[in-house]
Amino acid sequence: MTQEKLKKNKKQNFEEGEPTEIESVENVSWRHCNICTGEFDILGEGGIDGYIGILRFALCPCCYSGITDMVVQMNGFEDEE
C-alpha cells in the first residue's frame, strides 16, 4: 500500500469508530518499563501499567517492587512504634 492509502484507511477507520492503531496496541500484553526500559509481559509476569495524566506509564515487576520498597522505607511504614 502507498502512504496515501494508509493515511486514508486510518482516517476512514477513525471516522467509522473502528479501533485505531493506538487503541489496538493497548490490547497487547507486552509492555516496556519506563524505568529500566525492559520488555515484560503484563499478564504473565505482573507489573503495573496505566496513565499519569495523559502519559502512558508502565513498570515491570522488579521496578514496581523496588519503588514500593523505597516508599515503605522512606515513610517508615515498617517501623514498630
Condensed to tens digits (0 to 9), the pLDDT of residues 21-73 reads: 444 445 578 889 999 999 999 999 999 999 999 999 999 999 999 999 999 99
Q: Supply the pLDDT for residue 25.
A: 47
**Could you give the CA distance from residue 45 to residue 50 in angstroms, rounded to a whole number?**
16
Beta strand pairing call for 39-41 and 55-59: unpaired
pLDDT at 77: 77
What pLDDT, on a 0 to 100 scale, did the predictor assign at position 69?
Answer: 93
What is the predicted pLDDT for the residue at 80?
Answer: 60
Q: Is the pLDDT of residue 6 over 60?
A: no
For residue 2, report the phi and psi dihedrals to the nearest 5 degrees. -80, 165
Length of the chain: 81
Query: Which grid coordinates are listed for 73?
Result: 522505607
pLDDT of residue 21: 46
Give bridge partners of residue 51 from the DSSP assignment: 56
